[in-house]
Structure 1
Amino acid sequence: MKKFVIDKKSIVFYLISIIGILVVDQLTKVIVEASMQLASSHTIIDKFFYFTYAQNKGAAWSMLEGHVSLFILIGFVAGIGMIFYFLKTKENEILTRFGLVLAFAGMIGNVIDRVRLGYVVDFIDFIILGYDFPIFNVADMALVIGLGLVILEVLLEGRNNG
């Protein structure tokens, strides 16, 4: 079995990334809560991009609303899974490692909201080609981009091995 290898420079980079995402995520949410009324919206780019204050009391798209304890537990289990998967990565799996760091930071950001408030603060609102996407936040972006990087590396690795 190959030993997990990571240099100190990478550890520092990953920790700074996690802390940076958490700070930006929590700071933007505090600013939104302090400066906007629930359900109010500010136009950034008309008919395309808005800041709309929403409280998500469920999972994605408010599914399973009202089960805060379940989402905190799922976050805890997912966090352990991400750490375990990270420790199983190879040194050259850079996209997977950074993807897991992003996803972990995003998950922590939303768990902090659930523990602190009982809901997740969302505010980034896009309408693209007439479709009003679900409102999201910085933590959600980190989570989605992170998982996208993991999937991308898996696909690239499969392509290179196939």
Structure 2
Amino acid sequence: MEDTELTPMQRAFTRKGLFWLTLIGALIADIATKAWADTYVRPTAPRVTPIIDGFIGWKWAENQGAAFSIMDGKPFVLAMIASLVLAALMFYMWKADPKRKFFLVALALVGAGAIGNLYDRLLLGHVRDFMFFIFDLPFNGTKIINFEIPVKYPVFNVADIEIIAGVIILILMSFKSDKKKKADKKETPDGA
């Protein structure tokens, strides 16, 4: 069957395999590490078990909010936001050129992280977090519009890392895209 004979849905799955492989792999990594932490880190709570002394360790937390416990106790609102984000990601994946590999990987990472945390939130009523930076944040105690930056970085999980990595890739790509647009404008003569 040639590519021209495929339906749009079939093309999205075959031509964007990198997206699907990244999404599934990242989702498995998140769910597997949360299951591991549930078995091995949870029983040690509230103690912090250092991995790299003075830097990072294991610490169990059941987060009912988003990052920094924003919207704590509002799982329905957070589930709706995650669902909207996932819908937008699928739209952009669907429209994206399959040659834009980094873009597809970034979307897949954000999507996997959102799905992983949504899975926890819907099935358990909280998100399982288990990684913790042991050191104090250098700017702790600073207030930003009625929000005080905590002394310690919040406990996090693999899904959070995936979301942050995906967003960083998208930001870096936007800078590259802006530079390319400026370079293209310089090459184009006035009035063209």
Structure 2 length as normaliser, TM-score?
A: 0.75
- 1:75-94 to structure 2, matched below 5 A, reads 75-94=82-101
Pairwise CA distance, 1:148: 1.1
Is 1:145 the equivalent of 2:152? no
Q: What residue number does 1:30 align with?
A: 35
Q: What residue number does 2:154 align with?
A: 134
Which ranges in structure 1 are unaligned for 5 or more consecutive residues?
none
Q: What residue number does 1:156 align with?
A: 176
**What amino acid is aligned across from residue 14 of structure 2 in structure 1?**
K
Tell me the secondary structure at the aligned position of residue 156 of structure 2. Answer: coil
Q: Is the 8 A contact 1:57 1:65 kept in 2?
A: yes
Which ranges in structure 2 are unaligned for 5 or more consecutive residues?
1-7, 138-151, 183-192
**What amino acid is aligned across from residue 66 of structure 1 in structure 2?**
G
Q: Is the 8 A contact 1:93 1:153 kept in 2?
A: no
Structure 2 Cα separation of the partners of residues 102 and 26 of structure 1: 14
Task: State which of 95, 100, 103 in structure 1 corresponds to 2:110.
Answer: 103
Q: Which moved more, 1:35-44 or 1:63-72?
A: 35-44
**What amino acid is aligned across from residue 71 of structure 2 in structure 1?**
L
Q: After TM superposition, where is structure 1 displaced by more than 4 Å over at least 4 residues in a row? A: none
Structure 1 Cα separation of the partners of residues 46 and 68 of structure 2: 15
Structure 2 Cα separation of the partners of residues 92 and 155 of structure 1: 18
* Pairwise CA RMSD: 2.1
Q: What residue number does 1:19 align with?
A: 24
Structure 1 length as normaliser, TM-score?
A: 0.87
Which has more radius of gyration?
Answer: 2
Q: What residue number does 2:146 align with?
A: none
Tell me the secondary structure at the aligned position of residue 58 of structure 1. Answer: coil
Structure 2 Cα separation of the partners of residues 107 and 135 of structure 1: 17
